[in-house]
Amino acid sequence: MSHNSFGHLFRFTSWGESHGPAIGCVVDGCPPLIPLAESDIQPFLDKRRPGQSRYTTQRQEADQVRILSGVYPDQTGVQVTTGTPIALQIENTDQRSKDYAEIAKTFRPGHADLTYERKYGIRDPRGGGRSSARETAMRVAAGAIARKVVPGLTIRGSLVQIGPHAIDRDRFDWDEVDRNPFFCADAKTAEIWADYLDGIRKSGNSVGAVVEVVAEGVPEGLGAPVYGKLDSDIASAMMSINAVKGVEIGAGFSAAELTGEQNADEMRMGNDGKVLYGSNNAGGILGGISTGQPVVARFAVKPTSSILIPRSSVTRDGENTDVITKGRHDPCVGIRAVPVGEAMLALVIADHYLRHRAQTGAGGGK
């Protein structure tokens, strides 16, 4: 059991605090002979990196990843994984010198300040310490490796709701995701969000969001019933991301309103001998095992707790106080959660790909 490790066979362990000298992770169990260079990882980190638009925190981190172990040139000179642990590391370069004494004394509402203090009797208050969203950079880095483990796997994500504004599914277009600062698959909704978020930001407020992540090319048969179900592990993965308060698969909560007749994903044989489905309310998973349809998950991200509007709180010494959180914060932390959600989905699927291969000998599917 390891509090800071994720996965079982494809497994990574992260470490580091927001304002320590570095953050890092160790990826263990990766299959050997997979081509891997820093340039395979960096683009995903760049996507998550803050300061790229006015809608995310202006904190500047280069987030340059280094691979410190677990790779070596093969006989053709291509650097590949060797099957030994892959250590990844990012220096923290933007730790502003600042007096944390005041922050250390106050418990900010919606933050982990109080709970870390009560659990451990101590916390690193600088930038949120271990509870900072900065930790998610290592998820993205590890996820970039996970993506390379399963042949034919494609994982994409889109922000599908900000505050009261959800996207229009009829306009959903994956190609739009990289054309706006919200990772939004619906160009028109992205425009609405731009206006809306400007207002939120200027008022010193923040707002929640919903992220959708989709995996295509998932082989049939991944998932290990009954306590290692694919959807159970996806739920755990998404809920472990900072600020996430809900996870759903396929039809999700709307399935509660459906009848069995409506919810059934009817099947027909395709011409190629593969099963065709009339719908995907199951989100690609039945009985905890992948069907071969796209795996679809959504998760709700609460509004950033750091806002400029004063909120009642208490101090470590038991005094009442009011808190305003100055600094460089995301008005909608859900935006940068998109690449993180993608990474977590990749990590779950890579892990189950190896678990399935262990028990059945299959390369995944048959």
Q: Interface residues for its own copies in 175-214 (CB under 8 A)? A: 200, 205-210
Q: What token pair was written down for 355?
A: 């678990």
56-95 positions binding its own copies, by CB under 8 A: 66, 68-70, 72, 74, 80, 82-87
Among 178, 227, 271, 326, binds its own copies (CB under 8 A): 227
- Nearest CB to its own copies, comparing residues 175 and 260: 260
Candidate residues 76, 164, 169, 326; the one interacting with its own copies per rule CB under 8 A: 164
CB of 174 or CB of 253, closer to its own copies: 253
38-48 helix and 136-146 helix, angle to the nearest 10 degrees: 140
Contact by Cβ (8 Å): 93, 61:
yes
Binds its own copies (CB under 8 A): choice among 218, 224, 295, 337: 224
**Nearest distance from C-beta of residue 178 to its own copies, angstroms:** 23
Q: Do the beta carbons of residue 295 and residue 284 sit within 8 Å?
A: yes
User: Contact between 98 and its own copies (CB under 8 A)?
Assistant: no
Q: Taking contact as CB under 8 A, which single stretch among the options 51-59, 175-183, 187-195, 246-254 is the one that binds its own copies?
A: 246-254
With CB under 8 A as the contact rule, the residue among 38, 94, 255, 328 that binds its own copies is 255
Give the N- to C-terminal CA distance of the chain in Å, as an integer: 32
Query: Where in 319-358 is the site for its own copies (CB under 8 A)?
Result: 319-320, 334, 354-358
DSSP 84-126: S-EEEEEE---------HHHHHEE-TTSSHHHHHHHHS----G
Q: Which is nearer to its own copies, 158 or 281 (CB)?
A: 281
Torsion sign over Cα 135, 136, 137, 139: positive
Residue 13 to residue 2: CA distance in whole angstroms? 8
Residues 262-291 contacting its own copies, CB under 8 A: 262-269, 273, 275, 278, 281-283, 285-291
251 lines the binding site for its own copies (CB under 8 A): yes
Please, what is the minimum distance in Å from the beta carbon of residue 53 to its own copies?
19
- Secondary structure class of 26 (helix, strand, coil): strand
DSSP 228: B
Closest CA to 134 of 241, 5, 12: 241
Give the binding-site size for its own copies (rule: CB under 8 A). 157
Cα-to-chain-centroid distance, residue 315? 32
Closest alpha carbon to 29 in 78, 86, 69: 86
Q: Is 1 in the site for its own copies (CB under 8 A)?
A: yes
| Candidate list 306, 338, 346, 349; residue touching its own copies; CB under 8 A | 306
Task: Give the interface segment with its own copies, choosing from 39-47, 49-57, 173-181, 300-308 (CB under 8 A).
Answer: 300-308
* 217 near its own copies (CB under 8 A): no
Residue 264: other Cβ atoms inside 10 A: 13
What is the C-alpha to C-alpha distance for residues 82 and 71, in angstroms, rounded to an integer?
A: 5
Closest CA to 133 of 227, 3, 243: 243
Q: Is 172 in the site for its own copies (CB under 8 A)?
A: no
Q: Which of 155, 231, 338, 341 binds its own copies (CB under 8 A)?
A: 231
Q: What is the DSSP letter of 231?
A: H
Site for its own copies in 6-65 (CB under 8 A): 6, 8-9, 11, 13-17, 20-24, 26, 28-33
